[in-house]
Chain A
Amino acid sequence: MDKTINQKAWFLVLPVFLVVAFSAVLPLMTVVNYSMQDTFGNNQFFWNGVGWFKELLDPSTDLGGRFLASLGRNLFFSAVILAIEVPLGIIVALSMPREGWSVAACLVILALPLLIPWNVVGTIWQIFGRPDIGLLGYVLNHLGFNYNYVSNEVDAWVTVIVMDVWHWTSLVALLCYAGLKSIPDAYYQAAQIDGASRWAVFKAIQLPKMNRVLLIAVLLRFMDSFMIYTEPFVVTGGGPGNSTTFVSIELVKIALGQFDLGKAAALSLVYNLIILIVCWVFYTVMTNAGTERKAVAQGEPAAEPKAAAAPRPAGVLKPKEGVA
């Protein structure tokens, strides 16, 4: 059989090629190009090979020190907000009503923080926490706590973390709520009959059934918190000192503040790579968990020849046609 050869098809694909080239490939290649060079302004570039990358991963240099320190802060930040938001989200989801008008009310209230633009969230907390005019800052200071996120590192961290929890716990809660809603009533009834305590119900039914949505929630929250920029930038500007300077803030400082395009390009490539790797790990873990279950389910009928092949109880229990 002859294949129909029609080269005109290339013209149909061409627009996609162009769009992808201009929107993704070219900018990315520009960054790769920059990362290998140094510039002193005036659009003059000098070849630097992998020099920036070496420097980036060497803590003894200025660039490496800044990058690794901010990376450490970022990882710590992600770990802390995951440790708070995931359990808190589960608790919120568990305590939400399951039916009635209050469900809609809860959903709207929960969704509100998610609808606020990020820099507005930052502004809200920036003002909220100010010791002179902010409700939170003023009250705390009035109560005798020496709270000031501009001068105290711990206060700055607490403010940024609480802000993130305020902003994003809703997302975890909503995802968990969706997972909880999909559990059939029969499970709860069976657990009641089995005499399960509230904790046993959570451990045996709710948590396993929320497994999937929790993985998604953790993935989303990790990615978002790892890329966080706007909110801490608006609230603390990365300070006091460098104490709340995350990788993205450092990147912007280098790229736009110092106009060190080479260093910034190298940093953003590594930053990008880290996020890609984490994504890939999560994706693999999630899909593997799925396929494992599937493979086992398919293997099952063969594993149970005994039950299927057992001789039928002959005649004894057959319905009497006259009766039935």
Chain B
Amino acid sequence: MSILNNLINGISLGSVYAIIALGYTMVYGIAKMLNFAHGDVIMVGAYVCFFATGQFGLPPLAGVLLAMVVCTVLGMVIERLAYKPLRQSASLAVLITAIGVSYFLQNSALLLWKSDPKVFTSVVGTGSVKLFGGELTITHVAIVTVLACVVIMLALTWFTGRTKMGKAMRACSEDKAAAQLMGIDVDRTISMTFAIGSALAAIAGVLLCSTYPSLMPTTGSLPGIKAFTAAVFGGIGSIPGAMLGGILLGIIEIFAKAFNTNISDAVVFAVLIVVLLVKPTGLLGKAVREKV
């Protein structure tokens, strides 16, 4: 039964990674940049929900919605102030800026909310479903997390494939200049991508802290890196790839932890290295052929 338990925990953790990875992969696909501040947006989302439900007594759902609104605005502001002026710059400059924004968010959180860990109250309670006479326990949080992940995946697939904004995003990811000449406002499309990615980050933050209730200014940092790994693992730029990468990474991590807690992260990254050696574009990534 412990294998099944681990599998369920792995899928649940992987779902959180997947939701975060979607933000990385969408922004990369469209703006062709790695937004390393994405992990810290998660942390901000979790804090907003924490204060909204804890101190202001809002119902959990309202707390999540408020976190999404705040993160959406935050994501768009970060893009507008930090990344947009660098649109024509070298990608290295944007990368360093993203790392800068990440530290800025962490330290602002430290200043505002102090370093002591807050105990996050799960938005779906602490109940669980017991199966097989109590041998298998599935927490409500795990169920909600996996469901949220599936719903988000389906909604995003539909959004990018079937709506005009989604199509504009795919057009921008293929050829920005051509999209612009067809009358698509690339700046607005990129801003929209950040908005969607950041709203998802808020959901991920709340779900993450509902499972692992200790909330600190650095809470988003490691899950952010792991989710980035998941996005690369699945093939960066690909939405199904981010999902697959996230869930596999979560499962691998939990099983490695069950085997030996100290080396779990090493195992995760070792798997990434092996996958990239065998398939450099990631599991579902498309090979980009250089034109000769």
The answer on A and B forming one complex is no
Interface residues of A (CB under 8 A from B): none
Interface residues of B (CB under 8 A from A): none
